[in-house]
Chains A and B, each alone.
Chain A
Amino acid sequence: MEVFKADVAIVGAGGTGLRAAIAVAEADPSLKVALISKVYPMRSHTVAAEGGAAGVVQDHDSLEYHFNDTVAGGDWLCDQDVVEYFVAHCTEELIQLEHWGCPWSRKPDGHINVRAFGGMKIERTWFAADTSGFHMLHTLFQTSIKYPSIKRFDEYFCVDIIVEDGRCQGVVVIEVATGKFTFIQAKAVILATGGTARVFRESTNGGIVTGDGMALAYRHGAPLRDLEFMQYHPTCMLGTGLLFTEACRGEGGFLLNKDGYRYLQDYGLGPAEPSPRNKAMELGPRDRLSQAFWHEERKGRTITTPLGQAVHLDMRHLGEKKLRERLPLICELSEEYYGINPALAPIPVRAGMHYTMGGIYANLKAETPLPGLYAAGECAGNGLHGSNRLGSNSLVDIIVFGKMAGVEAARFAKSAPVSNPAVLEKQAKAAQDRVLGLVTKTGGKEKHSILRREMGQSMETGCGIYRLGAELQQTCDKLAELKQRYKNLNVEDKSSVWNSDWLAAIEVGYMLDTAEVIAHSALNRKESRGAHQRLDGYEQRDDANYLKHTMAYYTGDGPPRIEYQDVVITKSKPGTRAYGAAGEKAEAERQKEAGHG
Chain B
Amino acid sequence: MAESTRTIEIEVLRYRPEQDTEPFYQTYSVPFTDDMSVLQGLQTIKDDLDGTLSFRWSCRMAICGSCGMMIDGKPKLACRTFLRHYHPKKLRIGPLEHFPIERDLVVVVEDFIKKLEGIKPYIIPKEPRTLEEGEYLQTPAQLEKFRQFSTCINCMLCYSACPQYGLDSKFTGPGILALMHRYNADSRDGGQAERMELGHSEEGVWGCTAVAYCSEVCPKGVDPANAINQNKMGSAIDYFLRFVAPRGAGK
Contacts and interface: CB of A to CB of B under 8 A. Distances in A.
Contacts of B143: 103, 105-106
Contacts of A100: 122-123
A338 B183 contact: no
B22 interface: no
A104 B134 CA distance: 13
A111 interface: yes
B129 A131 contact: no
B140 A108 contact: yes
Interface string A491-521: 1110111111100000000000000000000
A493 B183 CA distance: 44
A42 interface: yes
A207 B1 contact: no
B150 interface: yes
B179 to A, nearest CB: 8
Interface stretch (A141-149, A412-420, A426-434): A141-149
A177 B58 CA distance: 17
Interface in B5-64: 16-19, 35, 46-48, 50-52, 54-64
Interface string A242-269: 1100000000000000000000000000
Contact of A493 (B52, B102, B135): B52
Interface of B (DSSP majority class):
loop
Contacts of B62: 332-333, 336
B91 interface: no
Contact of A42 (B64, B102, B138): B64
Contacts of B113: 40, 154
Contact of B131 (A99, A109, A112, A154): A99
Nearest to A98: B135
B54 A306 contact: no
Contacts of A306: 1-3
Nearest to B109: A40
A116 to B, nearest CB: 19
Contact of A338 (B1, B57, B66): B1
Nearest to B149: A103
B46 A449 contact: yes
A498 B52 contact: no
B135 A449 contact: no
B135 A112 contact: yes
Contacts of B179: 142
B52 A501 contact: yes
A131 B138 CA distance: 19
Interface residues of A, number: 65
A109 B183 contact: no
Given A108-B140, A110-B138, A498-B103, A101 B1 contact: no
Nearest to A147: B122
A307 interface: yes
A135 B137 contact: no
Given A101-B123, A239-B35, A501-B51, A108 B139 contact: yes
Interface string A432-455: 000000000000000101000100
Nearest to B104: A498
A103 B149 CA distance: 11
Interface in B82-137: 102-104, 106, 108-109, 113, 116-117, 120-123, 125, 129, 131, 134-137
Contacts of A110: 137-139, 142
A111 B137 contact: yes
A206 interface: yes
A207 B58 contact: yes
Given A306-B1, A306-B2, A501-B51, A45 B58 contact: yes
A39 B102 contact: no
Contacts of B103: 497-498
Contacts of A449: 46-48, 51
A48 interface: yes
Contacts of A142: 116, 121-122, 179
Contacts of A40: 109, 113, 154
A108 B141 CA distance: 9
Contacts of B64: 39, 42-45, 47-48, 206
A242 B116 CA distance: 29
A540 interface: no
B33 to A, nearest CB: 9
A98 B125 CA distance: 12
B66 to A, nearest CB: 5
B200 interface: no
A570 interface: no
A555 interface: no
Contacts of B19: 495
A146 B147 CA distance: 22
Contacts of A42: 64-65, 153-154
A227 interface: no
Contacts of B137: 109-111
Contacts of B102: 177, 497-498
B232 interface: no
B1 A307 contact: yes
A40 B139 CA distance: 33
A43 B2 contact: no
A239 B36 CA distance: 9
Given A109-B137, A146-B122, A495-B18, A43 B58 contact: yes
A307 B3 CA distance: 7
Interface in A221-248: 238-240, 242-243
B188 interface: yes
A39 B58 contact: yes
A45 B122 contact: no
A101 B122 contact: yes
Interface in A88-120: 92, 95-96, 98-101, 103-112
Contacts of A154: 113
Contact of A497 (B2, B18, B50, B151): B18
Contact of B146 (A96, A103, A206): A103
A332 B218 CA distance: 14
Interface of A: 39-40, 42-45, 47-48, 92, 95-96, 98-101, 103-112, 131, 134-135, 138, 142-143, 145-146, 154, 177, 206-208, 238-240, 242-243, 305-307, 329, 332-333, 336-338, 447, 449, 453, 491-493, 495-501
22 contacts: A40-B109, A48-B59, A48-B61, A48-B63, A92-B131, A95-B135, A101-B122, A101-B189, A106-B139, A108-B140, A134-B151, A134-B153, A206-B59, A240-B60, A242-B60, A242-B61, A329-B63, A449-B48, A453-B47, A492-B50, A500-B46, A501-B54
Given A99-B188, A495-B19, 6 more contacts: A39-B56, A44-B64, A99-B136, A101-B123, A497-B17, A498-B106
Interface of B: 1-3, 16-19, 35, 46-48, 50-52, 54-66, 80, 102-104, 106, 108-109, 113, 116-117, 120-123, 125, 129, 131, 134-140, 142-143, 146-147, 150-151, 153-154, 179, 183, 186, 188-189
